[in-house]
Each structure stands twice: as C-alpha cells, then as structure tokens.
Amino acid sequence: MKTVLITGGSSGIGLELSKLFAKDNYNLVIVSKFEEELEAAQTYLHELFPHINIETFQQDLTENNATQNVHRFIHDNNIDVDVLVNNAGFGSYGYINDADIEKESDMIRLNVLCVYQMTRLFLKDMVKKDKGKILNISSITAFQPSPYFATYASTKAFVKNFSQAINYELKSQKSKVRVTVACPTSVKTQFQQAANMGGMKLFDSWMAVSPETVAKDAYVALHSNKDLVVPKKFFQYLNEFTKRLPTSLLMKISDHQLK
C-alpha cells in the first residue's frame, strides 16, 4: 500500500484530498496544528475507510524545527512517503499597514518556508528511489500582484514558481519524480475566517469552487503528472486569457473582486 503525507489534511481542501487518497487505498499521515481537529478527522476518515492506516502528527508548522520534527516522525516510524501534499496554509486580507506583522510573518513561515523545507527534506529521498510525487497547493492569486492580499498572494507566487521550476529540473535530470501545483480560485472553507474575509461575497460568487472539486481536479492532475492545474475547467480557460492582460488592469480587477 502507498502512503501520502498531507499537511493540513484535517479540514477544507486537505480533508477532501485525504478522502480521495484513502479511497484509492493510500495510508494517510496527516499533520495539523490542533489535536482536536486531527482526532476528529481521524475518527471521521476511519469510519469511511476502515481498511487503511491513518497516522496523525500534531505540529504547528510555523514553529522552528517543525519540518524537521515531521521528517523525524516519518523516519522513526519507518514510513515510506510516496506522495507529499503541501496543503497547510492561511491568508491575511487587508491594507498592508493594518495587517499584523506577527500574523503575516507566521503566514510566510507556513506558506513559504514550510513548503520549501518539506519539499527539500522529502524530495531527496524520492529522487534517490526515483519514485514519488509532490502536490503543492498555491492559489489563483499567484498569477499577479493582489492589492489588499499583497503578502498572501506573494507567498502563493513563490509556491507556484518554486513548484514549476523544480518540476522542470526533475524532468531535465530524467527523474521520474514529479511536482504538481494547484491554483484554486475562492473556496468556502475555514480559510475565509482565518484570512479576515468573513463577510466577503467572493466565496459565494461565480468565482467560488467547492473544496471537493479542488481536491478532485488536483488529484487527477497529480496522477496525470501535470505541471499545474487551475481547478474547474472554466477557471483554467479563464486564467489562460486573464494572465495575458496588463498587470495594472489585473490589479484593478482583483481589488474589485476582493471587495
């Protein structure tokens, strides 16, 4: 049986991904911040998929040595990770001078540093064995500067560019290991509250997509060795068009959408 390691696999998009992997007989290792969330997810998933093994590891991934702790847990338990999903992340919406520096610094640690370190720690083993896959969850905001979402969008631009560049390197090195990046539009999950976007219409608008659809499209893209996916075909096509527009216009559109 194969094993997938999913950060933030206990809620939202991550939980939907956990279900898809479990349905395909992958054993799960889920890493999240809150013990109660992990326990609830483990019980829920065990009821749905009693035949698979579900390990959980509680870790605040913004802490120093967090990724090393995850890597050690995997090593000490002799777990062979076939797929790594870097999904844990959060947003921060608002005028830059109103944003909490500590919160945004934690966001950079989680959305950027953690993705970087997890990828570095697990990619080496995968390349050595010449097998394995990494799925990184970015965002549609990765394609342009986003006023009032400046720091978050920049973290997701890192995730997108880092993933695509690594995947290119792996192909050039004739490795069978692949990296896929998913760039969803707005998804109604706990993300909305955490990002200070509680009352925003965007999450119920035509730009919204369900966590199930995001997970399904990302899962299919990963298993088809796709470089990048924008979940829901319509948004994939729309993005092909919008990314050709001038940045100044894209920023105006984004500002309008985020109101």
Ligand X SMILES: NC(=O)c1ccc[n+]([C@@H]2O[C@H](COP(=O)([O-])OP(=O)(O)OC[C@H]3O[C@@H](n4cnc5c(N)ncnc54)[C@H](OP(=O)(O)O)[C@@H]3O)[C@@H](O)[C@H]2O)c1
Binding residues for ligand X, rule: CB under 6 A, are 8, 10-14, 32-34, 37, 60-62, 87-91, 110, 137, 139, 184, 186-187, 189-191, 194
In 3-state terms, what secondary structure has residue 156?
A: helix
CB 218 within 8 A of CB 17: yes
92: left (phi over 0), alpha (psi -120 to 50) or beta: beta
Strands 133-137 and 178-182: parallel
Report the alpha-carbon distance of residue 5 to residue 119 in Å, rounded: 12
At its nearest, how many Å lie between ligand X and the CB of residue 173?
A: 27
At its nearest, how many Å lie between ligand X and the CB of residue 176?
A: 26
Give the residue with the Cβ less far from ligand X, 33 or 232.
33
Give me the half-sphere count of Cα atoms (radius 13 Å) on the Cβ side of residue 162.
Answer: 22
Among 177, 140, 174, 181, CA closest to 159: 181
At its nearest, how many Å lie between ligand X and the CB of residue 164?
A: 16
Give the residue with the Cβ less far from ligand X, 91 or 132.
91
Give me the half-sphere count of Cα atoms (radius 13 Å) on the Cβ side of residue 37.
Answer: 18
Among 192, 214, 206, CA closest to 257: 206
Among 250, 251, 211, CA closest to 232: 211
Give the residue with the Cβ less far from ligand X, 56 or 167.
56
CB 177 within 8 A of CB 82: no
Question: 7 forms bridges with which residues in the sheet?
Answer: 31
Give the residue with the Cβ less far from ligand X, 212 or 227.
212
Report the alpha-carbon distance of residue 32 to residue 249 in Å, rounded: 38
Chain center to CA of 234: 21
Give the residue with the Cβ less far from ligand X, 65 or 128.
65
At its nearest, how many Å lie between ligand X and the CB of residue 188?
A: 7
Give the residue with the Cβ less far from ligand X, 108 or 127.
108
Classify residue 47 by its DSSP letter.
H
Give the residue with the Cβ less far from ligand X, 72 or 129.
72
At its nearest, how many Å lie between ligand X and the CB of residue 226?
A: 17
